[in-house]
Amino acid sequence: MHTMTESVSKYLNRELSWLEFNQRVLAEAQDVSVPLLERLKFLAITASNLDEFFMVRVGSLQMLVAQGSSKPDPVGLTPVQQLEQIGARAHHMVVEQYACFLDDLLPKLTAAGIRNIQSSSGSIASLTVSEVAKSMTALKSADEVSAATEVVPRTQLTSRQLKLVEQIFDGELASVLTPMAVTSSDDFPLLANQTLNVCVHLEPSPGDPEKLARFAIIPFGKGTSRFVTLPSEGGHEFMLVEDVVAQFVDRFFPGEPIRECVPFRLTRNADLSAREDLAADLLAEMEEVLEARRTAACVRLEISDRASTPLLAFLQAALKIPNEAVYVVPGPVDLSAFMQLTDRSGFEHLRYESWPPQPSPSVDLGSSMFQVLQRQDLMLFHPYESFEPVLRLLEEAADDPDVLAIKQVLYRTSRNSPIVAALQRAAEKGKYVTAIVELKARFDEARNIEWARSLEMAGAQVIYGVKGLKTHAKCMVIVRREPQGIARYVHFGTGNYNEITARLYSDVSFMTRDEELGADATSFFNAITGYSQPQRFRKLEMAPLGMRPKLLEMIEAETQRKEQGQKAIIIAKLNSLVDPAIIDALYAASKAGVRIRLNIRGICCLRPGVKGLSENISVVSIVDRFLEHARLFFFYHGGDERVFISSADWMPRNLDRRVELLIPVEDKACRARLISILEAYFDDNVKAKKLLGDGTYSRVKQGKSAPHRSQEALFREICEIGRLAENSRRTVFEPHRAPDGKLPSRGKE
């Protein structure tokens, strides 16, 4: 139990809390009980996460500093103070990433037959974290840098491998790559965000009396493969493309002595948004935003520790990058690229046991999805249960002559989306298709612009979201003509309409023919697509208007019941908890004695377990093979248990700046199952970590309890439910019947 002091804020800083989340992901890469290629995958994820963090969060803070802002966050930290603390924490995290990669994963991958043929990065085995950090800042002088071009010694390559590498360089890389001589920021090339480059340091020109160093930049571009597969006697051997270039870099500069050839990568600010108040054409404005990102300020420079001090100084001056934004790494730049190695065939023993999505026992394959939903509401828990029924519902709707209209929100979709293909087909068949394509979905803007245009060409009505807001709700309405009249079939989700991520993310789909939810969903679309003010919903709540008040009302109701001596419980599963108003309401509920259990995967700005503030609140975080993404809320409500699913986290951006939905689940079977799922996460004593009042996390202790890994338990449970349902079906005798009750023709005897 922690005790608050006057000097300690009752909140935790959002950015530092996010970095603690990424540390928990890194812990999976460091965990020797996790299969080797899965550990490499987690390491790559931490690097990719850090990329986006710098592009968005650090970029945003740097813009505030440039604007002269000193406004503190809820913790009391100014933008400058936040950047200082982020820098220290992020540098330490990068040290741990490379210690994990070089000292642990790389030797084990080599022993398992996945070998990186190179020696350009030395091992940091047996060094402490502080020694690694010191090695990452100890750059060489120009005189200490070898002038040899054989950055990768050819003795490591067999003659067959050397011949192939030479062929690849001469036949492909030398033709594609273009070295560019640079002298200063004035002639420095525009380098793409998050792409690999090498800086070549050449000896001064013999005729130069001032002996000025010369530099050239070789950008690799997005289309250049990072890994070059080598022929080998067994296993998988590869070289990094930057090592191949270093091997033969002298061929780009015939007769020129070369001092060094060093990989580096830039991260640019991506926290740029459209000026919707000035944009007559949002699609054109978003295209301009994408273009602006190409030239945005650099927020981070990652560079190999092989760089000399003069080379780094040249890059910093040319790119206007301060020392604190430089990350000198003792291994390959961009560890996120190693995700490509994690699905190599032949190494299945180095990955998790397969957990394929299971067919839902509630979905009869002999019935249409309309018939299934006429009988019952349907809840699916992905990725344990297949996303196929959601696709099937839409595809059947596209082809069903009785379907009149389809309305759907598209926030993030897959590259070759069957969802979009079905909507296009429906529009081409004359159905009234309305697609809300959110052009402002960060890093998916280009793909969404492409989808918007293709849907428009097919005849669909496309709405580019809501002015000033992001439409993040997950909703689909199918309007169908039936004998009893018009029926509305609705899908609500906590995740995107993306069949790829539905195999990787933990999310809930809820499908229903409920008349009131159907009416609410229709009102929701009308509010977004027209100028009408949102009508009062019968069951739904929508951000940015009614969701926060509804959540505060539910929390306050539990608080009042507890103050009256009644039982009161709040359970919530979220990705992030940041909103001060909701945190304060939870603190008040805790002080009243309400038992509050929170499962928060990522950012949590609430301090749990603090005496006099939050001793009745516990927070756990689970990082495992599937990304926890579902938002589920439970309120005891005097025994009349209320359960909700939502597209929204409890953050100001979700509650104030996005269009989100809060959906009550009233079907008894669906509600009971959601409660059971929530409970399963709090039984986890294998992957769960508990948030402490000081912002740190500790692993949940097993004690005398048997190991319980929530994701595995949920998968096994769904498999068992499916097995029992299949056995039940086998014991039911169903005769084949002829159409219309007629006997089949026997033909001539």
236, 229 Cβ separation under 8 angstroms:
yes
Residue 394 is which amino acid? Answer: L
Q: Smallest Cα–Cα separation from 139: which of 367, 339, 333, 326?
A: 326
Distance CA 409, CA 462 (A): 10
CB neighbour class for 452 (10 Å; exposed up to 12, middle 13-18, buried from 19): buried
Q: For 549-611, give the DSSP string.
A: HHHHHHHHHHHHHHHTT---EEEEEES-B--HHHHHHHHHHHHHT-EEEEEESS-B-B--SEE
Identify whether 472 is a catalytic site residue: yes
Residue 314 is which amino acid? Answer: F
Looking from the CA of 641 toward its CB, the CA atoms found within 13 Å total: 17
DSSP state of 229: E
| C-alpha dist (Å) from residue 213 to 196, 200, 248, 264, 292 | 23, 11, 21, 19, 32
- Residue 83 makes CB contacts below 8 A (sequence gap 6+) with 58, 61, 62, 65, 324
Quickly count: other Cβ atoms within 10 Å of residue 364's Cβ: 13
Residue 601 is which amino acid? Answer: R
Q: The dihedral of CA 107, 110, 115, 117: what is its sign?
A: positive
455, 427 Cβ separation under 8 angstroms:
yes
DSSP state of 745: P
Distance CA 78, CA 347 (A): 49
| C-alpha dist (Å) from residue 58 to 71, 87, 237, 299 | 16, 9, 37, 7
Give the E-state strand segments of 603-668 in sequence order.
610-611, 617-622, 627-628, 631-635, 642-646, 658-664
User: φ and ψ at 213, to 5 degrees?
Assistant: -65, 150
- Residue 668 makes CB contacts below 8 A (sequence gap 6+) with none
536, 530 Cβ separation under 8 angstroms:
no
**Interaxial angle between packed helices 14-30 and 36-53, expressed in degrees from 0 to 180 and rounded to the nearest 10:** 160
| C-alpha dist (Å) from residue 575 to 395, 628, 651, 676, 715 | 31, 7, 10, 19, 21
Q: Tell me which of 201, 236, 382, 472 is the catalytic residue.
A: 472
Q: For 675-719, give the DSSP string.
A: HHHHHHHHT--SSEEEEPTTS-EEEPP-TTSPP--HHHHHHHHHH
3-state SS class at 495: coil
Percent composition of the chain: helix, strand, coil (DSSP 3-state, to 5): 40, 20, 40
Distance CA 346, CA 343 (A): 9
Residue 144 is which amino acid? Answer: E
265, 336 Cβ separation under 8 angstroms:
no
Active-site residue list: 472
